[in-house]
Structure 1
C-alpha cells in the first residue's frame, strides 16, 4: 500500500475508540495491538468470528454485491479453502437492536460472499472474521474507497457510481472538497464522475457493467456532444442485442465493436478503401490516407523507379 493510502487510513482511524469486548457463546476473540503514531499510546482491537448471516452490506458499500458470484470470487474461495480460514478481517459497524442483523459491512463484501458460499457448500466450519469500528458515514466511505482503490476486481463503474453518490451526500456537490478529502486530483475524480453520468442506454450497450472503463467514457463523451440522438439510438439497438445475448440468444457484441458502432453513428462509417496496382506497388486509399505495399524481394532500383512514378502521378492530380 502506498504512503498516500497509509496517510488516508491514519486520518480515517486516528480518533476512533476501541470497541469493548463482549462475551458471547461460541464467539472467538482475537486481539491485535495498534501503535498510535502521534500519542504513542496503544489501542487494543477485538476481532470476532461471526456467522455471515448476521451481517448486511452497508447501503453505501462501493461494491455491487449483486454482481458477485462463484466465478468472480473463485480466487478468494480457493484461497480461503487453502488457508482454512479468513486471514484479513472485514470492517463492520454495529447496528442498533431490532435491525434484523447485528453488523453492517463497510469493507469486505467479497469476503462475506466467499464465506457465505463456502458455508452453503459443505464448508460449514468457516466463519466471517470482522473488526467492529465506530465510523461516521463519511469516514466509512473514505475507508472503503482507499481499501478498494487499487483492486482490479472492483470495476471502474462501481467506483464511479460510488463517487457520484458520495459527491452530493458527503461533500455538498463540491468536487474540489471531495478530491482533497480523497487525496486525488480533481481531474482524476472528474473522469470517474463522467463515467457515472453516462446515459443509461450507453451503459446498457456494454456486455456487462463491469466491462465499461473510465477510458471508454472519455471516448464516448465527445460522440454524445457531436450527435447525441444518433449515438443514443444506436446504443439502444446494441443494448437490445446484448439483452438477447444474456438470454442465450446469440453472442454479445464485444466492447471494441460497441465503440466502433457508436463512432459510426456519430460520424458515419469510415470510407471504404480504394485499391489500385501501379506496377510493383499496391496503392490503397482510405479517406485522406494512402498506404503503399510492395514485395520485399523488389530491388532498390526497381523500388526507386516505382516510387518516382507514383509521386509523379500523385502530384499531377
Structure 2
C-alpha cells in the first residue's frame, strides 16, 4: 500500500478508535493470543527488573491510549455476511479469479492478513459483516467446502458507522485490479446519495479524491444496463472511454441510435458466447456505439414496413417507430380477416425486433 493510502487508513482507524466502545468478549474457541514468554532460568535480577519496567511501560502506553489493542477473531465464514456498501460484487467472485489467494492461504496454513468486520444485531444467521476482505471471506468459504473444513476466517473487529465503513472499503478496493471501474463508479454513486447527501465536494474531500475525477465516475455510473450489455463483460467498461460514451448518451438525438446499436451488439455477444467463440472486443464495441448516430443519419431512409395479403393488397403498414412506441395502420378493403391481421401483427413485431426497433429496446 502506498504511503499516502497508508496514512489515510491510519487516520481513518484512529478517528474511529476515539469513539469506539469496548471490544466484545471473544468466544473461547476463537481467541488469537500469544502467551508471554517466561523468563529464562538463571536470568539476572537486573534483567528481570528491565523486563518488568518494559511491561509496566507497555501497560502505561496502552492505558493512555497511545497504543491500541487489536482483537482478532477466528470466525466461521457462514456466520459473517458481506456489507452491501462494498463495491465488490460477491456474485462475480469464483474459484478462477480467487485462485491465487486460495493457493496462498493453503501454502501459508491459513489466512495471514485479517479482514475488517463489524458486529451486527438483529440477524439470527450472522454475527458480523465484512467491511474489507470480501475475497478473503469468499476464499475461506470455498476452502471449507473443498477439503479444508477447519479453515477459519481471520478478522479484526472495528466499530465503524456506514460512512467510515465505506471509506475503509474504498481504500482497500483502490489497489485492487479485480474491482472494475464500473463497480467502483456505481458504488460511488450510491454512496454519494446515501452518505454525503449528494454533495460531491464533501465526498471528494472525505475520500481525498479529485472532484473532477469523482464527477466522471458518477457520470459513468449512470450508463444503463441495456448499454452495458453490449460489452462482453462489465469489467470491459473503463473510465475514460466510458465517460465519452456517457456524454454521447446525453444527446437526445444520438441516444436512440446508440441504444439500438447496443441492442444489436448484446444479441451478437450472446450468440458468440453460445457458440464458444471470442466476444467482440471492448474497443470495437465502443467504436460501434459512438459511431451509431452518424451511421444512422447517413443511412438511406427505409420505406415503411408493409404487410400485404396474397392478393398484393397492403393490410398493415408501420407508420412510425420512436421512443414512445410503434404506430401501425390497418388498411380497410385489404380483404384480410381477423386471423390474417393477427398474423400480420406478429410478423411486423418480429421484423421490428430484428431491426433493433422492437418494443423491448
- Pairwise same-fold verdict (TM > 0.5): yes
Following superposition of structure 1 onto structure 2, how do residues 28-107 of structure 1 map, counting pairs within 5 Å?
A: 28-30=31-33, 41-107=66-132
Displacement after TM superposition at 1:23 (Å): 4.5
Contact kept, 8 Å, 1:194 with 1:217, in 2: the verdict is no
- 1:229-283 deviation digits (Å, cap 9, x = unpaired): 10111011111222334445654222122112113312239x9xxxxxxxxxxxx
What SS does structure 2 have at the residue aligned with 1:239? helix
Aligned to 1:290: none
| 1:261 matched to 2:288 | yes
Partner Cα distance (1:119, 1:148) in 2 = 25
What SS does structure 2 have at the residue aligned with 1:268? helix
Larger Rg: 2
Contact kept, 8 Å, 2:258 with 2:292, in 1: the verdict is yes
What SS does structure 2 have at the residue aligned with 1:104? strand
- 1:92-144 deviation digits (Å, cap 9, x = unpaired): 01111543201011001100111111111111231100011110000000010
Cα pair distance change 1:98/1:224, threshold 3 Å:
closer
Q: Select 2:145's aligned residue among 99, 115, 120.
A: 120
| 1:5 matched to 2:5 | yes
Partner Cα distance (1:24, 1:202) in 2 = 49
What SS does structure 2 have at the residue aligned with 1:49? strand
Q: Select 1:242's aligned residue among 258, 269, 278.
A: 269
- 1:147-193 deviation digits (Å, cap 9, x = unpaired): 11121111111111110000011111011110011001111101211
What is the number of residues matched between the two proteins? 266
Aligned to 1:22: 25
Following superposition of structure 1 onto structure 2, how do residues 1-317 of structure 1 map, counting pairs within 5 Å?
A: 1-14=1-14, 15-16=16-17, 17=20, 19-20=22-23, 22-30=25-33, 41-226=66-251, 227-248=254-275, 250-268=277-295
Partner Cα distance (2:225, 2:123) in 1 = 37
Partner Cα distance (1:260, 1:21) in 2 = 55
What SS does structure 2 have at the residue aligned with 1:48? strand
Cα pair distance change 1:23/1:104, threshold 3 Å:
closer
What SS does structure 2 have at the residue aligned with 1:26? helix
Contact kept, 8 Å, 1:223 with 1:266, in 2: the verdict is no
Partner Cα distance (1:188, 1:30) in 2 = 44
Q: Which runs of 5+ in 1 are unaligned?
A: 272-317
Partner Cα distance (2:119, 2:77) in 1 = 14
- 1:12-31 deviation digits (Å, cap 9, x = unpaired): 21232374352524223247
Task: Between 148-157 and 223-232, report the one with greater CA deviation.
Answer: 223-232
The Cα RMSD (Å) is 2.4
As a proportion of its length, which structure holds more strand? 1
What SS does structure 1 have at the residue aligned with 2:126? coil
Partner Cα distance (1:98, 1:181) in 2 = 30
Aligned to 2:40: none
In the superposition, the TM-score normalised over structure 2's length comes to 0.68
Partner Cα distance (2:144, 2:31) in 1 = 18
Q: Which runs of 5+ in 2 are unaligned?
A: 35-57, 299-361
